[in-house]
Amino acid sequence: MHARIRTVTMLALMAGSLLSPLAHAHGDVTPQAVDVTTLKPLGDQKRDENPYRGDPEAIRVGTSAYNQNCARCHGLEAISGGIAPDLRKLDIDKETDIYFRDSVLRGKVRNGAVYMPPFEGILSQEAIWAIRSYLDTRHEVAAAPANEMEVLAKKSNCLSCHAVDTRGVGPAYREVATKYAKDKNAEAKLLAKVKKGGAGNWGKVPMPPMNAVAESDLKALIKWIMAGAK
């Protein structure tokens, strides 16, 4: 068991150093190997729930693994600097554990654009759950949603990048309402933009296409945003 894990770690290390020049050439990040030999081995079967929650050693390993692999996009100490969602807001429950695991394994790739690289084959299961254990310690409860539209926005994943009043990865919804207040075609334009994604109106960071959300929900959300997100 242990020998296997060491091999995997070594392979990841080698892959990291072999791939780094290439990765740099493409402007990608270089994944860093994580030493998980001090953690209880988890075997090959994927866990649906963080097996290390609260384990001090996992938190220690996870802190450095996070700093090496995630902080450049998700921010030091998990305080988002605005290019990737704030991971302190992830709920602590089994459903979110599964979402977290799969987000890290698969990355975030849509229509060929890599918003976040996949870590499958780079981070071991042990490393992924160690990072999750660290993030648990940084957890911050977001303010309770003020109304049913905010609930819909949260469910539709909009609030991982947007907030009503403050700028996150994307503009504050109040800013959007102000910017397009005089534009009669704003709702139609914004619907097209949110479905297709894209950058340029607020900065260089693109919004991913949100076409997984039902069009009727997107329409309702945009109406709500344009009305000041109240």
Chain residues binding ligand HEC by CB under 6 A are: 29, 69-70, 72-74, 84-85, 87, 100, 103-104, 108, 115-116, 119, 131, 156-158, 160-162, 169-171, 176, 190, 193-194, 198-203, 205, 207-208, 210, 213, 218, 221-222, 225
User: Which residue bears the tokens 């090496």?
Assistant: 68
Please state the closest distance from residue 54 (CB atom) to ligand HEC, in A.
18
216-226 as b/e, with b when 16 or more CB fall inside 10 Å?
eebebbbebbb
We find the least distance from the C-beta atom of residue 86 to ligand HEC, in angstroms, to be 8
Nearer to ligand HEC, 17 or 201 (CB): 201
Residues near 14 by Cβ (< 8 Å), separated by ≥ 6? none
- Report, in Å, the least distance between residue 38 CB and ligand HEC: 19
User: For ligand HEC, which is the closer residue by CB, 40 or 215?
Assistant: 215
Please, what is the minimum distance in Å from the beta carbon of residue 229 to ligand HEC? 10
Backbone torsion region of residue 61, taken as left when φ is above 0, otherwise alpha when ψ lies between -120 and 50, otherwise beta: alpha
Nearer to ligand HEC, 1 or 47 (CB): 47
116 SS3 class: strand
Distance CA 90, CA 101 (A): 12
